[in-house]
A and B are shown apart, each in its own frame.
Chain A
């Protein structure tokens, strides 16, 4: 049991502070090899993680590095440094704390390597870089503790996979190292514990009072389809007025932009409101963040970029616009309100359309019952392992046996076979090609038992390419010089390519006009008052989680829906009368004529990505069956296909083997695969990141990764990187596994209902935009008119 040193306990006492039970418990467990602390936001998690460090250092400050703190955000590291300073300076402890991120100066970083502080605050990427230096063993030899903050967020990405490999490395350098993970509420604590270390103790803090969370009901019912929740702007402004600071979360950047634009137009009282998302320039985001910390903003329209645990001050209401798609994320977002322990968080859910009313209800129930969701991550990806092998080689010679033994202590790689490891090592060393071309120029050479870089010059390039975050190629957007040249943010290069001069779009809440491309920068001018012609760039689209999907299907099975708003309950009742409501045991398909075309709806409830893949595969099968499909649109719960001929029985279209074959052919030239390949090839060290400077100087020498993908598919289709790409895409954007799960669940029970006209449940699908919507106001009205007509046709209005 570690005790609080007198200097600290005196200082706490003087401040009138007492420790929370979980903070005391962390001290008690100071000697344990690994502890996972799960505590709600505001529960003093970070202090809990650092108390053992402060106690040990106060007793006998050693020379050199004692504790490493790793957070997913640079800003968080800086935040923590300021927060730690208070008790350290207050109790006058002889402890040196420094942060080290991509923003740290070169001189500072050099000095830190020569003379490390007691506590170093950093990010996974900066740690990877540190571990790639030859002097890593010296720097980390005395390391006692490592604290991983927001580990639940890290664990969901390749940054987390890399993190576990780096931990394994650290443990070899300092066998006595103790690990602490700090996490928000998660669905499967033991899984997260395994991710942290092989034998991790779990400490659950008191979760605090249940959140006060409700659906925001408005006078106007939500529209039949579409997103963004703009119908509720008056109601939301009312809420903003009643609270100190409101966070308004959106699921995509495009929706956040559109919503903010309208909110601003309706903001007749000139309340200070801001917008924050990942496409805005750093200057803009920092300005909003500073205003927020200073308590100057009444509302911030934001996306996931505000999800992580920086203390933004006095937020007392969180509004989630659109169905949350995922209960865990919702709970974590709600935690942003009332950043004080033991005060309930207050949150409102705003369904963006009629179907989302059901989704929001399902999410509310899940939160009340404490059910969380999360898809298991699957084994650690091998592109990350490739990078880790390169990093290890940069630091010095290694043996395959020792590295393999180390790698399988990392949770995500525990099941990695020796054969898989050897194939990965072979790829890193020789390229792993069927044509053994690089005998003379291997990247890694073997001398006796040890592997080392053939050419030490390679280390510099490898270091520059460390990290697993792959940015899509973006272009900066700035106002034309005569308008001040202010940077506004970034758009994806592919979005910029679709613009022609004169196009207007939303950026940072203002309408701008595309003027042209100048030296890799998109130049725009202000166009106040114009309707945006083009919606913004792609944002992330989350698929609804399996847990939520199951709950939605359960709601469908209720005999009546007294706790749903009347408009929604009537809608479901009518669907039951006219057709039936989908359930988990049967795959419901509806076939009906509409507007001169035959239509087929497949209610797979497999999530947007999988439903989209299903649309591609089914239309292909229909094409082959001569059914002349003309197009399709997919949502989280259904795929709507239209064509010339009616589908009498959909069941034969769902032959799993045929679908798999179709998938293989389709994948060959698919843009999703090429994008996935590019990301994996960068992580695995096959291609270098494109650095801004080099891009500017012209790209004769840097060619598209698509060429590599096509070449590999043609000449070496079984190559490791293509295997990795397939695995990635199947789990991610293509999400074929959820199609397989769905087909396994219904086990051949595929029912096709032939209907004389469209069904109530299918009606909103007709309003679903196929791509990222182009949403001028006129279009929105048209959509609502069309909606009303469709609803009348379905007997609903």
Chain B
């Protein structure tokens, strides 16, 4: 095993260890190492930790359209929750995850859970059942949530720490919050940002936008040599993080 936090291409040398080819569904994933663990960036924008059977997604923003309507905004097509759940279910099944961590901002606000359509709520409950499901609090859904699963501010697991917003100086950190995106070939892609200390996940929710990698918010967080792993296509593709 290569030392923690160093990207490996093949067995030695700096660079990227390219992953184990097609996952069982959802196209070509990309494997990388962080804090001595092997992690898989999936084209869906989900992160999988095979050793722990753990699937991690961030910023689902369930109930976004309902919240906008409630706050006298526009009436968006009310289908994003089922679309997000359908993709999440597909990821859970494809990876056979025993444990799921939602990295915060899972709901667009504290009241969004109450606003879910009955069908969507049942669907979510079925997904949670029989799995170790952890909800990490985000800035949108900080309050206690009335839904099955464990509710935590942050979760240390072995060498990794899962939290909503990245903290300066952290090591082996997995976080979300920023919705990073990058440009390639004239198109915007949701992306993971990864360096030797941390990985920041893209937003998994359907109705979410993004923050360009070049934004000042990332400058202090990401080390020189950080990568952007583009999601949203059929292949998870790494490029040097645009700065």
Which A residues fall within an 8 A CB radius of B?
430-431, 433, 435, 437-438, 440-443, 454-455, 457-458, 461, 494, 497-498, 517, 685-688, 698-704, 707-708, 711-712, 714-716, 719
Chain B residue at smallest Cβ distance from A499: B186
Residue of B nearest to A716 (CB): B77
Tell me which of A440, A442, A455, A719 contacts B77 (CB under 8 A).
A719
Neighbouring A residues of B80 by C-beta, 8 Å: 711
A699 with B210: in contact, given A441-B69, A711-B80 (CB under 8 Å)?
Answer: yes
Q: Are A497 and B210 in contact (CB under 8 A)?
A: no
Alpha-carbon distance A430/B215, docked complex (angstroms)? 37
In the bound assembly, the distance between CA atoms of A678 and B158 in angstroms comes to 46
26 pairs from A and B in contact (CB 8 Å cutoff): A430-B75, A431-B76, A431-B77, A433-B75, A435-B117, A437-B65, A437-B78, A438-B69, A441-B70, A441-B75, A442-B75, A458-B72, A461-B72, A494-B186, A517-B214, A685-B74, A687-B76, A698-B217, A700-B203, A700-B209, A702-B209, A707-B206, A712-B79, A714-B83, A716-B79, A719-B77
Residues of A within 8 A of B75 (CB): 430-431, 433, 438, 441-443, 686
Interface residues on B, range: 20 to 34
Within 8 A of A (CB), among B54-101: 65-66, 69-70, 72-80, 82-83
Complex CA distance for A498 and B184, rounded to whole angstroms: 9
Chain B hits for A701, CB < 8 A: 209
Q: How far is the CB of A695 from chain B (nearest CB, A)?
A: 10
Q: Which residue of B lies closest to A706 (CB)?
A: B188
CB atoms of B76 and A686 under 8 A apart: yes
A715 near B79: Cβ-Cβ < 8 Å: yes
For the complex, is B183 an interface residue (Cβ under 8 Å from A)?
yes
Tell whether A497 pairs with B186 under 8 Å between CB atoms, given A437-B65, A698-B215.
Answer: yes
Q: Known interface pairs A698-B211, A700-B179. Does A711 touch B69 (Cβ–Cβ under 8 Å)?
A: no
* Of B69, B78, B79, the contact of A714 (CB 8 Å cutoff): B79
From residue A493, how far is it (CB to closest CB) to chain B in Å? Answer: 10
The smallest beta-carbon distance between B187 and chain A, in angstroms, is 8
Grouping DSSP codes into helix (H, G, I), strand (E, B) and loop, the B interface class, with mixed when no group exceeds half, is: loop
List residues of B whose CB falls within 8 A of some A CB: 65-66, 69-70, 72-80, 82-83, 117, 178-179, 183, 186-188, 203, 206-211, 214-215, 217
Give the number of residue pairs across the A-B interface with Cβ within 8 Å.
94
Task: Give the one of A433, A443, A458, A700 with max B CB within 10 A.
Answer: A700
Contact between chains at B74 and A688 (CB < 8 Å): yes
Chain A residues in 8 Å Cβ range of B69: 431, 437-438, 441, 443
The answer to whether A497 touches B183 (Cβ under 8 A) is: yes
Chain A residues within 8 Å of B72, by CB: 443, 454-455, 457-458, 461
**Assembly CA distance A443 to B178 (angstroms):** 31
Which residues in A have their C-beta under 8 angstroms from that of B183?
497
* Min CB gap B113→A, angstroms: 15
Contact of A435 among B78, B188, B208, B215 (CB under 8 A): B78
Set of chain B residues within 8 Å of A438, measured between Cβ atoms: 66, 69, 75, 78
Closest to A456 in B: B72
Expressed in whole angstroms, the Cα–Cα distance for A724 and B53 within the complex equals 47
- How long is the Cα–Cα vector from A378 to B64 in the complex, in angstroms? 37
From A440, A686, A687, A699, contact of B211 by CB (8 A): A699
Known: A699-B209, A702-B209. 13 other contacts (CB 8 A): A431-B76, A437-B69, A438-B78, A443-B75, A458-B73, A686-B76, A688-B74, A700-B210, A703-B207, A711-B83, A711-B206, A714-B79, A716-B79
Measured between alpha carbons, how far is A701 from B73 in the docked complex, in Å?
A: 13
On whether A433 and B186 interact (CB within 8 A), knowing A441-B66, A455-B72, the answer reads no
Instruction: Check A711/B209 contact, CB under 8 A, given A441-B66, A494-B186.
Output: no
Report the Cα distance A688→B73, complex, angstroms. 9
Smallest Cβ distance from A467 to chain B, in angstroms?
A: 16
* 7 pairs of A and B residues whose beta carbons are closest in the complex: A431-B75, A437-B78, A455-B72, A441-B69, A703-B209, A715-B79, A458-B72
Contact B77–A433 (Cβ < 8 Å): yes
A700 to B82, CA, bound (A): 21
CB distance from A499 to the nearest CB of B (A): 10
Q: Which residues of A sit under 8 angstroms from B206, Cβ to Cβ?
A: 707, 711
